[in-house]
Structure 1
Amino acid sequence: MLVDPSLGVRVRGRNALPPVDLVLLSHCHEDHTAALPLFRDAPVYVHEEDLPGLVDFDGFLSIFGVEPERREEYGHFLKTTFFYEPRPDAVPFRDGDLFDLGGGVSVRVNHTPGHTRGHCVLLVEPDGVLFLGDIDLTGFGPYYGDAWSDLEAFERSLELVRGIEARHYVTGHHIGLLDDRDAFLGRLDHYVARIADRERRLLECLAEPRTMDEIVAHRFVYRPHDEGAGIAKAERNSMQLHLDRLERDGRVEREGSKYRAA
């Protein structure tokens, strides 16, 4: 079994791996599927909510909410940098599904939406290994900047993950392997706190009325000098989720095209 065939897998090549007869995806993002074309003969499974992104390229672009005028440019980027190929034969799974790998080893699916609609963490038993996908516990914090992202679903997923008993924790980026539950919980606390910190700083900024363009330029998710494909859009999407919640809660008011703290 191979989980999330990334660019690193592509660089090493299929021959560097043991035989792969099953591919599981934690979610459908380009950096987690880059080596999938190396395994055309292996069945690939993904949560049913992310399945449209794997079946065809239009579905893949819809995950990010790519505007019509940017489809050609961004599509070229995804195909040449991350080697996207559709897998119309992909098989959907659901929350709670169990993959029996034989020899007493199994993988249980836990649906943890927010990063994408179909993001999942995977628990390997009997070893108690929890693969966290892009709940990556980095200092950057949770990413919910795509069209298919959901801030409040992400928060619920983080609490769900906290309650899953495991002995080893594997992240999709940077942190790697954690063999201590207390270390995992400590990193999770810091990761969760990034959401509240972004919201606090946003409210401070809105002591004066601001347009969305001003909010995006200020940067609350990314650093002020960060530029690049999709960064401003991801910042805008993320802040819109915060603003929608703050407006519902009566903590932010809208004045024409501007937002201000209530």
Structure 2
Amino acid sequence: MTTTDPGFREAQYDSVSVLMSGQGGAYPYGNTVIARGSAGTLVIDPSLEVDHDPVDADAVMISHAHEDHIAGLKHFTAPTYVHDADLAGVRSLRVLIDGFGIPPEIRSFAEKHIADQFDLPDGRPDAIGVPSEHVFDLGDISATVIHLPGHTAGHCGVLIEPIGFCYVADIDLTSFGPMYGDVGSNLDDYLASIERVREIDARWYGTFHQKGVIEGADDFRTRLDAFRGVIERRDARLLEFLGEPHSIVEIADHRLVYRPHVEMPFVGAVELRTAQLHLDRLVRHGAVLEVEPGRFSRT
């Protein structure tokens, strides 16, 4: 690796380089991917530590509409692309924040946090929507958009071929586990997306947060199993709690995602959305019943 900026280190994987976060990649930081082809250069998810366009990019791909993935976008003038389902959130910061599904009383906190931490513009109104399987032709390499919804409705990865680099964005393999607490989140979609990336045989797998780059499909799939296991543990925790009837608010207060000592304004909204998604899924599978209006118990 060679130092290219005080904020990150550049690691090379054939014609793909990753600007590895100098802060370890935990939120609000992340790892930015650059694919250099003979006919063009694509930047994916310019992070908070990217304070200029280091490659004179021909195109920028945003994996999904979250503030940490567009943090460095203001430094790029190249055409910006995002999946159609998350396009409105990249075009408008207001729409991006709407997607959190937070109550009005804490919206001002979210707006202040984003302003203080990221100093984002009001949006990228000229962003271009693309469908799944959209291909960036970079000459001797190509970058194909892979729709991986669940985290957000438009969350995507990018497969760079023929070198075999698969960027999986926020399927980030952390011990914290999957996040699906937004309005556009979907637990069943997230599980399906995990299975989709499991089927991709690549040489390298890149994540936006923390883990960075994993080499080899076997190691990646082992880590992916552990990541998916967090969802299963949340299911088990919920079923244990529903040994007696409880409401959705009581389930959220019990917490499936955050530990009891974590106190941040958005925690309640995330817990409520997560609890609802798990509850809906377990009801569909017959593991939970609504025993009286608004109160649920395991079968």
* TM-score, reference length from structure 1: 0.93
1:224 matched to which residue of 2? 260
Letter in 1 for 2:43: L
Q: Distance in 1 between matches of 2:179 and 2:257?
A: 8
Q: How does 1:104-183 map to 2 (within 5 A)?
A: 104-183=140-219
Whether 2:293 is the aligned partner of 1:260: answer: no
Whether 2:233 is the aligned partner of 1:197: answer: yes
Q: Which has the higher strand share?
A: 2
Letter in 2 for 1:14: H
Letter in 1 for 2:48: L
**3-state secondary structure, aligned to 2:273:** helix
Q: Distance in 1 between matches of 2:95 and 2:218?
A: 39
Q: How far 1:36 moved relative to its partner? A: 1.1
Q: How far 1:188 moved relative to its partner? A: 0.6
Whether 2:36 is the aligned partner of 1:36: answer: no
**3-state secondary structure, aligned to 1:124:** strand
Letter in 2 for 1:133: A
Say if 1:35 and 1:83, in contact at 8 Å, map to a contact too: no
Q: How far 1:21 moved relative to its partner? A: 2.7
Q: Distance in 1 between matches of 2:264 and 2:94?
A: 23
2:134 matched to which residue of 1? 97
Q: How far 1:168 moved relative to its partner? A: 0.4
Q: Percent identity of the aligned residues? A: 44
Q: Distance in 2 between matches of 1:33 and 1:23?
A: 10
Letter in 2 for 1:96: E
Deviation per CA, 1:63-119: give whole Å up to 9, x if none: 2123344433322322332223201100111111110112x1110011010000001
2:43 matched to which residue of 1? 2
1:87 matched to which residue of 2? 124
Letter in 1 for 2:63: S
5+ residue gaps, structure 2, are 1-41
Q: How far 1:160 moved relative to its partner? A: 0.7
**3-state secondary structure, aligned to 2:120:** coil
Runs of 4+ in 1 over 4 A off after TM superposition: none
Q: Distance in 2 between matches of 1:164 and 1:83?
A: 36
| Residue of structure 2 aligned with 1:14, choices 43, 52, 60 | 52
Q: How far 1:218 moved relative to its partner? A: 1.9
